[in-house]
Amino acid sequence: MHTVLFLIFAAIATGCGALVVTRRQPVSSALALVGVMVSLAALYLMLGGPFIAAVQIIVYAGAIVVLFIFVIMLLNAGRERRTEGSLMAPLLGIPLLISLVGALSYVVWRAFPETQMVRLGGNVVGTPAQVGRSLFTTYLLPFEITSVLILIAIVGAVVLAYKELD
Amino acid sequence: MSFYFIALIKILVVIAVLLLALLYLQWVERKVIAHIQVRPGPYRVGPHGLLQPLADTIKLLTKEDLLPPGANRFLYMLAPFLAITLSLISIAVIPFGPIIEVAGTITYMQITDISIGVLFILAISSLTVYGIVLAGWSSNSKYPLLGGLRASAQMVSYELPMGMAVASVLLLSNSLSLREIVDTQSNYYWGFFPAWNVFREPFPQLISFIIFLVAIFAETNRIPFDLPEAETELVAGFHTEYSSMKFAGFFMAEYANMITASAMATTLFLGGWLPLWPEKFGSSYVPPAVFLAASALAFWGALGRARRQDRRTLPIAGAVFFLLAVMFLVHVVNFIVVPLFWFAAKTALILFTFMWVRGTLPRFRYDQLMGFTWKFLFPVAVVNLMITGLLVGLIG
């Protein structure tokens, strides 16, 4: 049951990921990105992280991609024009991609020789209480530093916007 | 096997009731607004216009389905489908009543109780914006595009104060499951005063209740925040180019969102299915009393200076109300329908507020709308959350 669900959502995620790149209409790409986010949330749910799954949808699909679409609509971005790309791109790109994937899987295989299949369903590690407790005990410093980092980014955006107004 | 069977029955019942409520909510709204504006409202189709929703459905079904030139066909078709699907999903986690036992099987009066129910509803409601935005963009027309732009900015902005208001309730109830949130409100202060989250110590959540109400008005695009479909500026906003059942889809989605948001407010702040005062003081006799009064009113109306057709229909209505009152007194179904009555009554009260506000207030200007949430609602929600957190930390 869980394996079938995993295969379905993994296929949706990969398919939508390919669509993000290949669609020529920016709004369609953004929508395919939503498909990736939602199927990732389903995968998180099966790995036992209900909180991460919900936050994935609320933050990524519900806020960030909405802002993407907002900007696309505001700038009225039309269809992408396809450049007459050189023949070198697929000739060089496909072998490089295959060797990169091969190298990565070799490194993972050598680094973790005694790995097992991921157990889907039944594991509960990411309940809201557990996530909250580890955020405010083990990972308190990184958590606070990240919030300061975001604050700096906001202040920077405000400063830049004001300069343009003058 | 029986798990799937029970789940199927619950889904069928909830969907049937929800769709019927959708149809008649529109009739109720037209009646309420008509009476606010001192006119009778729908009156011709059936007694007191009761068959008007059916007539409207037939009218919409037989209209021509248009596709504007230059529209993105796939997204144009997808938008109403997304809107209606997402608005119907979130009812799945709303608890309508306590745990009941029917014919030996114990079950929740809820389709499913998930441990992150609140987050689930927030996630689904944050996705509902896509239906509107895509409808506005794919129509290839300027007014829908403006409506879609307004909708995306407005709904993202009002989600923040809504989330903050919900967070302070979560501090009090210490759970994300909607059923447990209702269960924590089941006490009574001094033996009779309900400990709902609006009145809950150490910090009554009255402010977050009001913030939540304002935010759900904006999230469901209702007057005074219906800028995405402002008739005076944008023809009909994001659904200008839609006709026939696709238009009806957006209409149904708006009403379904209203029902879910009201049910959510009832669950989070007004104690869900819990009665206004404890059962030992006879709160379970309120529903039969209400329906008996309605029945008496209908019979009295039929005896008085009623029109000829009302002389026939009002006694029927009276008899139906009388049977409903008897149903609340029968022991076999008593324990199911009494919690349902309280839940429906509180939800209906909030839905009535939606209509009342629509009949009373004018529309905001767009900059006022955005200024209101960012400069007033959001800071108030943050301060409320901080005070709640401090008091819960000190006392609770």
What are the chain A neighbours of B129 within 8 Å (beta carbons)?
Answer: 62, 66
Q: What is the mean pLDDT of residues A26-40?
A: 89
Q: Find, in chain B, the residue whose alpha carbon is nearest to that of A68.
A: B152
What is the C-alpha separation between B113 and B95, in angstroms, rounded? 8
What are the chain A neighbours of B153 within 8 Å (beta carbons)?
Answer: 70
Q: Are residues A91 and A115 in the same domain?
A: yes
B126 contacts A61? CB cut-off 8 A:
yes
Lowest mean pLDDT segment, chosen from A31-35, B302-306, B355-359 = B302-306
Q: Are residues A84 and A145 in the same domain?
A: no
B152 contacts A66? CB cut-off 8 A:
yes
Q: Are residues A90 and A166 in the same domain?
A: no
Q: Are residues A85 and A25 in the same domain?
A: yes
Q: Exposed, middle or buried: residue B262 (CB in 10 Å: 0-12, 13-18, 19+)?
A: buried
B156 contacts A50? CB cut-off 8 A:
no
Q: Residue B299 in contact with residue B208, Cβ under 8 Å? A: no
Q: Find, in chain A, the residue whose alpha carbon is nearest to that of B118.
A: A54
Count of domains for chain A: 2
A58 contacts B116? CB cut-off 8 A:
no
Q: Are residues A48 and A119 in the same domain?
A: yes
Q: Which two tokens stand for residue B370?
A: 């955005």
pLDDT of the residue at A164: 62
Q: What is the mean pLDDT of residues B53-74?
A: 84
Q: Which two tokens stand for residue A51?
A: 């909180």
pTM value?
A: 0.86
Candidates A56, A59, A68, A70, partner chain B, best to mutate (most B CBs within 10 A): A70
DSSP B193-217: EE--TTT-SSS-THHHHHHHHHHHH
The complex scores an ipTM of 0.79
Q: Are residues A105 and A90 in the same domain?
A: yes
Q: A157 — contact with chain B (CB < 8 Å)?
A: no
pLDDT of the residue at B211: 92
Q: Are residues A113 and A146 in the same domain?
A: no
What are the chain B neighbours of A25 within 8 Å (beta carbons)?
Answer: 72
Q: Is a pLDDT exceeding 90 seen at residue B294?
A: no
Q: Which two tokens stand for residue B389?
A: 């957190």
Q: A78 — contact with chain B (CB < 8 Å)?
A: no
Name the residue among B114, B116, B149 with its Cβ closest to that of A73: B149
CA atoms within 13 A on the CB side of A156: 6
Question: Hey, CA dihedral for B174, B176, B178, B179, is it positive or negative?
Answer: negative
What is the C-alpha separation between A117 and A16, in angstroms, rounded? 25
Enclosing domain of residue A157: 127-166
Q: Are residues A67 and A145 in the same domain?
A: no
Q: Are residues A112 and A164 in the same domain?
A: no
pLDDT of the residue at B349: 92
pLDDT of the residue at B364: 84
Residue type, A20: V
Residues B183-205 have pLDDT tens digits of 888 888 887 888 888 888 788 88
Question: Hey, CA dihedral for B328, B329, B335, B339, is it positive or negative?
Answer: positive
Name the residue among A50, A58, A127 with its Cβ closest to that of B122: A58
pLDDT of the residue at A102: 93
B156 contacts A66? CB cut-off 8 A:
yes
Q: What is the mean pLDDT of residues A46-54?
A: 85
Q: B145 — contact with chain A (CB < 8 Å)?
A: yes
pLDDT of the residue at B306: 67
Q: Are residues A62 and A41 in the same domain?
A: yes
pLDDT of the residue at A166: 58
For chain A, give the mean pLDDT.
84
- pLDDT band at A36, cuts 50/70/90? very high
Q: Are residues A136 and A117 in the same domain?
A: no
DSSP B305-374: S--HHHHHHHHHHHHHHHHHHHHHH-HHHHHHHHHHHHHHHHHHHHHHHHHHHHHHPPPPPHHHHHHIII
Helix (H, G, I), strand (E, B) or coil at B377: helix
Residues A105-160 have pLDDT tens digits of 889 888 877 767 677 766 677 788 888 888 888 889 998 999 999 999 999 988 88
Name the residue among A27, A54, A74 with its Cβ closest to that of B123: A54
Q: What is the mean pLDDT of residues B142-170?
A: 87
CATH code of the domain covering residue A103: 1.20.120.1200
Name the residue among A25, A28, A58 with its Cβ closest to that of B123: A58
Q: Which residues contact B248 (CB under 8 A, 6 or more apart)?
A: B57, B60
Please choose, from the candidates B172, B257, B169, the residue with its C-alpha nearest in 3D space to the C-alpha of residue B220.
Answer: B257
Q: Residue B154 in contact with residue A89, Cβ under 8 Å? A: no
Q: E-assigned strands of chain A? A: none
pLDDT of the residue at B232: 74
| Distance to chain A for B391, nearest Cα, Å | 19
Candidates B130, B155, B370, partner chain A, best to mutate (most A CBs within 10 A): B130
B116 contacts A62? CB cut-off 8 A:
no
Q: Find, in chain A, the residue whose alpha carbon is nearest to that of B121.
A: A54
Alpha helices in B139-205 (DSSP H): 142-173, 178-183
Q: Are residues A15 and A66 in the same domain?
A: yes
Q: What are phi and psi of B278, to 5 degrees?
A: -60, 155
Q: Which two tokens stand for residue A126?
A: 């990411």
pLDDT of the residue at B137: 84
A69 contacts B126? CB cut-off 8 A:
no
Interface of A with B in 96-115 (CB under 8 A): none
Q: Residue A27 in contact with residue A78, Cβ under 8 Å? A: no
Q: A48 — contact with chain B (CB < 8 Å)?
A: no
